[in-house]
Homo-oligomer: A and B are copies of this chain.
């Protein structure tokens, strides 16, 4: 198929084409305009770098667009966002990039925004050696503030879903099947690729916890997302809230076909990019929520003590020695 390279279409034409992906918020102007805000705001930036966060071999531009939005939206959800306003995009691409790639990226971004709410507000596009999508999202803070530092001893620790799927999806897509003796069911394969390429989020989470709230005086709860893996999420909550997490290994919700073994525990707890919520609530509130939402699992509790994550019902804790991915 004929490639239409950016260096051939030129900057002016590119800007004209990109403008078509933006609704009227983007004034034909030096910056974008957001009308009539009357709230507390949440703002977050996530950058995706080629060959660090994605590459053409494992994920399409359409899915990268979706995922860039999803990872930003997930940070807003895990802070108690009520409504997404929109995103600004700082895009860096080499001059040899095919226009079709950019078009798909922006289509994926708009697909995700149609799904989660909000629109593309504005942004800029520059040349560079490698692709970088730096996205900044703005949303409105809802009534309950979800914060990493707000977990309290005696609270029940819960999570909204199962982990490890995105990591497995990545390994399947990059053809790094690490354990050839393991049989993976098609359901697990499909679900993992789905979670890696086009992750689902928990956009109704704030409404669910508000509905389950036994007392309107509760305004803050301890919460984060598992974008850096379940273990990291638990660790962050315990450090920021200055208490100890006790996790019951038996209660950890796994995909019904998830294989057993040390390596698989490592992928489960350290895989990342699952975008589930990890949070804690007082017992009564937790019970209300667990009774009304079957996808939410109780996995442990917080107790007083030095910040740490401890496991019960765990025979082989070898996977805990794993050092998670570090950029530097």
Contacts and interface: CB of A to CB of B under 8 A. Distances in A.
Interface stretch (A107-115, A119-127, A157-165, A172-180): A119-127
A124 B45 contact: yes
Nearest to A233: B30
Given A47-B134, A90-B90, A130-B130, A32 B28 contact: no
Contacts of A91: 47
Given A11-B326, A128-B49, A326-B11, A31 B42 contact: yes
A52 B93 CA distance: 12
Interface string A199-225: 000000000000000000000000011
Interface in A24-45: 27-45
A328 interface: yes
Contact of A125 (B7, B147, B224, B327): B327
A306 interface: no
A218 to B, nearest CB: 18
A136 interface: yes
Given A9-B328, A10-B328, A30 B128 contact: no
A257 B134 CA distance: 42
Interface centre among A31, A95, A130 (most CB of B within 10 A): A31
Contacts of A121: 43
B49 A40 contact: no
B122 A44 contact: yes
A166 interface: no
A44 B29 CA distance: 10
A175 B240 CA distance: 50
A117 to B, nearest CB: 16
A265 to B, nearest CB: 23
13 contacts: A29-B79, A30-B79, A38-B38, A45-B89, A45-B90, A45-B123, A90-B135, A95-B327, A128-B130, A128-B132, A130-B130, A134-B134, A138-B138
List 3 tightest A-B contacts by C-beta distance, closest first.
A90-B134, A134-B134, A31-B44
